[in-house]
């Protein structure tokens, strides 16, 4: 079906998914793919790219849900997790982070997968609801008619009314929001805290009711009521002290069991490892452009400047230098070598030693 023959609602849905992929690619370019994406910020980015209306979390759930509902739903790399306290994040599944042919940011493949899933859902819905459709009237032209390729992928070469399209879009599947493992581990502790809060509120309400009872019965009955009230206050104080100690011990246990935060050096190394594949591609082009000999050398200053001008995301000189050092020491030590002669530093590239299975090597290094 020609793009202009699609209903407006379907065109808007395809545009929404395309803007979703664009905003997600921009986020990953600046923050990396290892960090979960908060949907509160992602919806604002998609709205700024789309410029049609404010995008909601349900719109993102529809985009991810349609990707999972088609015949190739296993290729959907995204999942949505609930981190509690109103924080819902988009994550990349572990099996799609490295070593897959799809790749988490291949926008063309993901858009084609979305159209394929939408087409399968439309055909299923149309058959179940008996939706009437008529073929598009093709204009008459002189000469031999053009043969339409059989393998051409289209959403649906039919014209239907807007009411059927609206009903179809309203029932599209939405991705499930699953509770993350960290929130599941803390759930018993939070339930314990809620129980103690309820006990505290109950004790407070009982104390207020006893106070009102003393005020209504008169001063002559006050000594008979004051002794149980004093005992209740003493019991409540001891319980509250024990609960406070339990909370302190529980926080200390959680802090001791939590992994130590990453140091700035570790974060810088991890960022350099994530950019290694792109940097090696630029180095190969630079080496081929210089002659393609057995070994090619560059001055460190010139190489860093070429890398900063060639890499898609802007990097500082220190970040670019860290990428070269990580390649020479961990990722491809034989392919990239750093030679220092006094204050002069050079980089030697040996094209013969370029690593063959780069992705598996990065996975082994923890990316």
The last residue of one of the domains, among 171, 202, 225, is: 171
In a domain, 258, yes or no: no
Cα 103 to the chain's mean position, in Å? 14
| 323-349 pLDDT per residue, tens | 888 888 888 888 888 988 888 888 888
pLDDT at residue 211 is higher than 80: no
**Which H or E run includes 189?**
helix 181-217
In a domain, 255, yes or no: no
pLDDT-based confidence at residue 196 (cuts at 50, 70, 90): confident
Cβ contacts of 168 within 8 Å, gap of 6 or more: 121, 122, 125, 126
In a domain, 188, yes or no: no
In a domain, 102, yes or no: yes
Cα 313 to the chain's mean position, in Å? 19
Q: Are 167 and 307 in a shared domain?
A: no
- What value, to the nearest 5°, has the Cα angle with vertex 203 and ends 201 and 206? 110
* CA–CA distance, 130 with 127 (Å, rounded to integer): 5
Q: Are 49 and 167 in a shared domain?
A: yes
The model's pTM: 0.46
pLDDT-based confidence at residue 138 (cuts at 50, 70, 90): very low
CA distances from residue 146 to 141, 149, 155 in whole angstroms, order as listed: 10, 9, 20
* CA–CA distance, 30 with 302 (Å, rounded to integer): 25
Mean pLDDT (whole number) for 45-66 = 92
Q: For residue 248, what pLDDT is reported?
A: 87
pLDDT at residue 74 is higher than 70: yes
Mean pLDDT taken over the chain? 78
pLDDT-based confidence at residue 180 (cuts at 50, 70, 90): confident
Cβ contacts of 127 within 8 Å, gap of 6 or more: none
Q: For residue 190, what pLDDT is reported?
A: 64
pLDDT at residue 68 is higher than 70: yes
Q: Are 165 and 273 in a shared domain?
A: no
Q: At residue 221, what are phi and psi to the nearest 5 degrees?
A: -95, 0
Cβ density class 72-89: b for 16+ within 10 Å, e for less: eeebbbbbbbeeeeeebb
pLDDT-based confidence at residue 218 (cuts at 50, 70, 90): low
In a domain, 71, yes or no: yes
pLDDT at residue 50 is higher than 80: yes
Owning domain of residue 19: 8-130+161-171
Q: In the structure encoding, which two tokens stand for residue 140, read together?
A: 């008459």
In a domain, 247, yes or no: no
Which residues lie across from 196 on neighbouring strands?
Answer: none
pLDDT at residue 247 is higher than 80: yes
The last residue of one of the domains, among 117, 138, 171, is: 171
Q: In the structure encoding, which two tokens stand for residue 176, read together?
A: 């499930």
* CA–CA distance, 282 with 107 (Å, rounded to integer): 22
* Better-predicted residue by pLDDT, 10 or 207: 10
Cβ contacts of 36 within 8 Å, gap of 6 or more: 81, 83, 89, 90, 91
Q: What is the CATH number of the domain that holds 331?
A: 1.10.10.1420
Q: For residue 187, what pLDDT is reported?
A: 60
Q: For residue 213, what pLDDT is reported?
A: 72
Q: For residue 142, what pLDDT is reported?
A: 45
Q: For residue 184, what pLDDT is reported?
A: 65
**In this structure, how many other beta carbons lie within 10 angstroms of the beta carbon of residue 24?**
24
In a domain, 209, yes or no: no
Mean pLDDT (whole number) for 28-56 = 90
- How many independent structural domains does the chain possess? 2
């Amino acid at each position: 079906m020609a793009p202009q023959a699609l209903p407006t609602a379907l065109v808007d849905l395809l545009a929404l998914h395309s803007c979703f992929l664009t905003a997600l690619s921009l986020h990953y370019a600046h923050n990396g793919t290892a960090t979960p994406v908060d949907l509160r910020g992602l919806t604002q980015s998609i709205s700024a790219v789309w410029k049609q209306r404010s995008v909601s979390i349900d719109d993102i759930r529809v985009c991810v849900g349609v990707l999972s509902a088609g015949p190739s739903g296993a290729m959907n790399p995204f999942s949505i997790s609930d981190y509690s306290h109103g924080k819902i994040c988009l994550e990349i599944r572990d099996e799609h982070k490295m070593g897959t042919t799809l790749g988490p940011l291949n926008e063309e493949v993901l858009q084609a997968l979305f159209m394929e899933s939408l087409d399968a859902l439309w055909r299923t819905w149309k058959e179940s609801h008996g939706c009437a459709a008529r073929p598009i009237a093709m204009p008459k032209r002189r000469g031999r008619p053009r043969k339409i390729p059989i393998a051409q992928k289209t959403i649906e070469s039919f014209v239907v009314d807007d009411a059927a399209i609206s009903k179809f879009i309203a029932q599209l599947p939405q991705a499930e929001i699953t509770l993350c493992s960290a929130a599941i581990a803390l759930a018993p502790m939070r339930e314990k805290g809620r129980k103690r809060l309820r006990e505290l509120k109950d004790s407070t309400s009982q104390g207020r009711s006893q106070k009102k009872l003393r005020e209504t019965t008169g001063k002559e009955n006050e000594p008979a009521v004051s002794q149980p009230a004093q005992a209740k206050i003493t019991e409540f104080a001891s319980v509250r002290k024990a609960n406070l100690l339990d909370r302190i011990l529980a926080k200390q246990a959680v802090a001791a069991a939590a992994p130590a935060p990453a140091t700035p050096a570790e974060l810088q190394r991890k960022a350099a490892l994530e950019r290694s594949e792109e940097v090696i591609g630029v180095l190969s082009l630079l080496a081929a452009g210089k002659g393609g000999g057995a070994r090619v050398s560059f001055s460190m200053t010139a190489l860093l400047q070429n890398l900063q001008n060639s890499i898609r995301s802007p990097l500082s000189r220190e970040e670019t230098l860290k990428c070269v050092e990580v390649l020479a020491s961990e990722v491809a030590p034989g392919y990239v070598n750093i030679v220092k002669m006094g204050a002069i530093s050079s980089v030697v590239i040996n094209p013969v030693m370029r690593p063959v299975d780069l992705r598996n090597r990065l996975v082994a290094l923890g990316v």
